[in-house]
Amino acid sequence: MAQKELRFGDPSFREIRKGNFLYADKTEYIHKMIKTSKCCFLSRPRRFGKTLLLKTIDALFQGDRMLFEGLWIDQSDYQFEPHPVLNFNMAYDEISTKDDLVSWIKWDLMRHAKREGVLLKSDFTSRQMFEVLLEDIYTKYGVGAVILVDEYDAPVTKHISDLKLASANRDVLHDFYQSMKTNIDYIHFALVTGITRFAMTSLDSGPNNFNDISLMPKFAGICGFTIREFKKLFKNRFKKTLKILKKSGDISQDADVDALKDMILNWYDGYNWLGHQNVLNPYSILNFFNEKRLRTYWPTTGTPSHLSQLAQARPLDFIQPKLNSYLYQDIKMAELEKMSPGAILFHSGYLTIDRRISVETVIHGETIKEEAFILKTPNREVALHYKANIFMQIFKNTTEEFQNFSKNISEALLNLNSHQIANILQNLLSGITFKQHMPLEKYYHSLFHAAFVGAGIEVLSEIAGSEGQADMAVFLDNKIRVVIELKYRHGGKYGGVAENDRADKDIAVALDEAEKAIRKKNYAGPFRLSSTKIFCLALAVCGRDRVAARFVDSDV
């Protein structure tokens, strides 16, 4: 049998099957889902196969059995009865008000109505349109419609930095999904997919709840490649790939096929949604076998807009997230107004479940045990790129600018060059947009901490001593520690000669305050017993991006 080709882009299930492209058979999962639930919800990271899953279900309900020959479902009791299918992709463009979202939804409903020969009045609300459409389709065919929704959360996540618009869009989506639930008798099956659970309120409430299969072990492998699928689908590619990697020096000359498999799993495996097996990133695996190079693929395709916007507002929380003791509801539920960085990173694919634990919590005075999770970075691919990626999102840097910052700030600290340190940090802050800016000392503290972490520098924050608490300490080359005290002055708006003179005075005052704190509170004290050299750095920020620095002899 000829080796199946790899298919890239966004192909339909029909294209894959007709073109004899490689396909991981997910029809057993689909059959199980259809048999056990009428309405389902699934969250998975971007580029994990959600869209292909929806297209497979679409083809299944078209009733074309020939497309499924040789797949699991072809040998099952499934009858391939055709049903009308309504597809929605909520990643609409140009939404600046909730009315824009309503217009897009109405346009989608009118599109389906035209195809099905259903008359919808333009002055209907979107909810009325949906209800009429579903009822008339049922009357026409005698069976309920199948509803497939892709990127259901996009109108919320794309505007997460504008909480007012994001909340308004969530309310519009509430009406849309509520109309599905109130007209459940006219629906045969529905699947709603997305990255997050920010817009899930309307799906979780009321008598006709959607069945959330995202963390059900029996559906853990519904997207991506399980290890068994990986070994079966790519078995004819391992030897050739091993030969090429040996030639390029990416793998040792004495490595065998099993060593190659282990290396691939180390790079691209590790995702877990409470299943018995981990899941490999499908996008990365396909690109790896296409290019035959061990490198990062998935992380370089872009960052979800909501993650980028939230990281800019809370840099330290996202570049160095907490990994332990997330309760089940913390992971499963991500409320728009109470967003946990760990939950957001988990749903976005940058963290995954390491293991389950039991924790004790007190509810109404009663101690009970609850299930909780320890999170981790899924694999080498994400670990290598994650911090750099978040850094570039926060500071609006290119890859080259990030690499230059990492190199230059390390050299400036090692050389104890305070003027260079100030210039580098000042240039870094120039990437902070007006909307991101918060005139708070703790904000700049978190920005600089995030910058050091992103640059690969070991850093601690808020180090308690006998007389006070130092802002930061960075560890360089296992020989030098730089204890940093930061002071911030708002300064207002600067411009013109007089204002610039005032800015110079403000930042000089802030720098003196930082030096005074270092001298008075003995911030270097907690590190004196170590064998490393200790230096203290006074750091000042004024306005949005003026930075000054001065090394201080804390023994004076």
pLDDT one-digit tens code per residue, 412-467: 999 999 999 999 999 999 888 766 778 888 999 999 999 999 998 999 888 876 67
Residue 66 lies in a domain: yes
Average pLDDT in the 286-313 region? 89
Least confident of 9-23, 228-242, 371-385, 458-472: 458-472
Residue 405, pLDDT score: 94
DSSP per residue, 157-215: HTTTTSHHHHHHHHHHHHHHHHHHHHTGGGEEEEEEEES-STT-HHHHSSSS--EE-TT
Least confident of 128-137, 163-172, 520-529, 546-555: 520-529
Residue 293 pLDDT > 90, yes or no? Answer: yes
Residue 347 lies in a domain: yes
- Find the CATH number of the domain harbouring 19: 3.40.50
Residues 262 and 368 in one domain: no
Residues 19 and 153 in one domain: yes
Residue 479 lies in a domain: yes
CA 189 to chain centre: 28
Residue 276 pLDDT > 50, yes or no? Answer: yes
Residues 338 and 315 in one domain: yes
Least confident of 56-70, 158-172, 507-521: 158-172
Residues 375 and 498 in one domain: no
Q: What is the pTM of this model?
A: 0.88
- What length does the chain have? 556
Residue 432, pLDDT score: 82
Residue 397 pLDDT > 70, yes or no? Answer: yes
Query: By the 8 A CB rule, do 375 and 323 touch?
Result: yes
Residues 533 and 506 in one domain: yes
DSSP per residue, 428-449: HHTTS-TTT----HHHHHHHHH
Residue 97 pLDDT > 60, yes or no? Answer: yes
Average pLDDT in the 364-375 region? 86
Residue 60 lies in a domain: yes
Residues 29 and 143 in one domain: yes
Inter-CA distances, 94 with 13, 159, 176, 317, Å: 29, 11, 19, 30
Residues 63 and 181 in one domain: yes
Last residue of a domain, one of 184, 214, 244: 214
Return the percentage of the chain with pLDDT > 90, whole number. 58
**Phi–psi pair at 473, nearest 5 degrees:** -140, 130
Residue 208, pLDDT score: 57
Return the number of other C-beta atoms located less than 10 Å from residue 122's C-beta: 7
Residue 544, pLDDT score: 81
Residue 207, pLDDT score: 46
Residue 389 lies in a domain: no
Residue 43 lies in a domain: yes
**Phi–psi pair at 393, nearest 5 degrees:** -70, -40
Per-residue model confidence as pLDDT tens digits over 59-82: 999 999 999 999 999 999 999 999
Sequence letter at residue 311: A
Report the candidate in 68, 71, 73 with the shortest Cα–Cα distance to residue 30. Answer: 73
Residues 545 and 502 in one domain: yes
Last residue of a domain, one of 319, 354, 382: 382
Average pLDDT in the 151-171 region? 88
Average pLDDT in the 217-222 region? 96
Residue 544 token pair:
């949005």
Could you give the CA distance from residue 77 to residue 61 in angstroms, rounded to a whole number?
A: 15
Average pLDDT in the 4-20 region? 88
> Mapping DSSP to helix (H, G, I), strand (E, B) and coil, where does residue 25 land?
coil
What rounded mean pLDDT belongs to the chain? 88
Indicate the angle between helix axes 418-429 and 441-454, nearest 10 degrees. Answer: 100
Report the candidate in 83, 84, 91 with the shortest Cα–Cα distance to residue 108. Answer: 91
Residue 491, pLDDT score: 65
- Lay out the sheet containing 469-476: strands in order across: 458-464, 469-476, 480-489, 533-542, 546-552
Supply the DSSP symbol for 271.
Answer: B
Place of tokens 């207002």: 492
Residue 188 token pair:
């045969």
Last residue of a domain, one of 355, 382, 409: 382
Residues 78 and 21 in one domain: yes
Residue 556, pLDDT score: 42
Residue 321, pLDDT score: 87
Residues 73 and 210 in one domain: yes
Residue 496, pLDDT score: 46
Report the candidate in 335, 370, 331 with the shortest Cα–Cα distance to residue 351. Answer: 331
Per-residue model confidence as pLDDT tens digits over 459-510: 988 887 667 788 899 988 777 789 999 999 886 554 444 566 778 888 999 9
Residue 107 lies in a domain: yes
Residue 209 lies in a domain: yes
Domain count of the fold of the chain: 4
Sorting pLDDT into bands at 50, 70 and 90, what band is 359? confident
Domain limits at 270? 225-293
Average pLDDT in the 153-176 region? 88
Residues 37 and 171 in one domain: yes
Return the percentage of the chain with pLDDT > 70, whole number. 93
Residue 554, pLDDT score: 58
Residue 335, pLDDT score: 65
The residues near 12 (Cβ < 8 Å, ≥ 6 apart) are: 55, 59
Residues 373 and 411 in one domain: no
Average pLDDT in the 18-27 region? 93
Average pLDDT in the 265-269 region? 97
